[in-house]
Amino acid sequence: MGKDFRASVFALLVDVGAPVGGYYLLRAAGLVPVWALLLSGLPPALRVLYRAVRRRRVDGMGLFVLAIVAVSVLTALFTGDARLLLVRNAWFSTLAGFWLPASLLFGRRPVTYEAARALLPGKGAQLDEAWAERPAFRRVWHVWGVGGLAHSGVSIGIAYPLPVDDVSALDTVVSIGFFVLLQVVTQVLLVREGTIGTLWRRQRAGAR
């Protein structure tokens, strides 16, 4: 297994596995839901801080994670409302839903584009060329804005009518499902737009 794969698995365990597993362990230990949710949400922030210390900088996504944790702490201290903490994923989705179209409007590359670029090593130059030259390629990334708003609505919709202990795991499943769905939709749109085919043709030409 490569270094990048191990790093991705570790990030998945810390950002997804630890919050969900940690919540139910803390609940089994007798903690009330609001504090179990708050403490179980700390591992992703600790990973961000660890990376910041190693790299001596914090990227935009890292700052956002820390901001979410800070808001979670304030929510727990001043309201004690576990359901407000349950919809913290919806906070991210809502902000992403509005930020992505805005970033495209002002010519900035959204985080989702940078993430996709990182998943395609050796294709960065071609993707950047497509970004610079093809408006249709840039419009593909609007799907993440729409998906973020849809995910926000679903998260809020399940957070309030269902028991708190059920929502923690269910919301994680919903979040993963939306992420996979948006990845698939993005790839289909990129195939239709022509980017994927162009990358494949260039790869085959380079291998000859």
Residues 6+ apart with CB under 8 A from 20: 40, 168, 169, 172
Gyration radius (Cα) of the chain, Å: 19
Of the candidates 176, 142, 175, 139, the residue with the CA atom closest to the CA atom of residue 159: 175
Provide mean pLDDT across the span 62-85.
Answer: 81
pLDDT digits (tens, 9 = 90+) for 45-59: 888 888 888 878 776
Residues 6+ apart with CB under 8 A from 135: none
Residue-level length of the chain: 208
Provide mean pLDDT across the span 22-32.
Answer: 93
pLDDT reported for residue 26 = 94
Provide mean pLDDT across the span 111-128.
Answer: 68
pLDDT reported for residue 50 = 85
Map out the domains of the chain as residue ranges. Answer: 1-81, 87-208
pTM confidence score? 0.73
pLDDT reported for residue 205 = 53
pLDDT reported for residue 86 = 84
Q: What is the percentage of the chain residues whose pLDDT exceeds 70?
A: 77
- What are the Cα distances from residue 23, in Å, to 91, 174, 176, 191? 19, 17, 18, 40
Question: Minimum mean pLDDT among 53-62, 133-142, 199-208: which range?
Answer: 199-208
| CA dist., res. 198 & res. 136, Å (int) | 14
Split at pLDDT 50, 70, 90, the class of 4 is low
110 versus 184: which is more confidently predicted? 184
Judge residue 44's burial from the number of C-beta atoms within 10 Å of its C-beta, 0-12 exposed, 13-18 middle, 19 or more buried: buried
pLDDT reported for residue 41 = 86
| CA dist., res. 106 & res. 89, Å (int) | 25
| pLDDT at 1 exceeding the cut of 60 | no
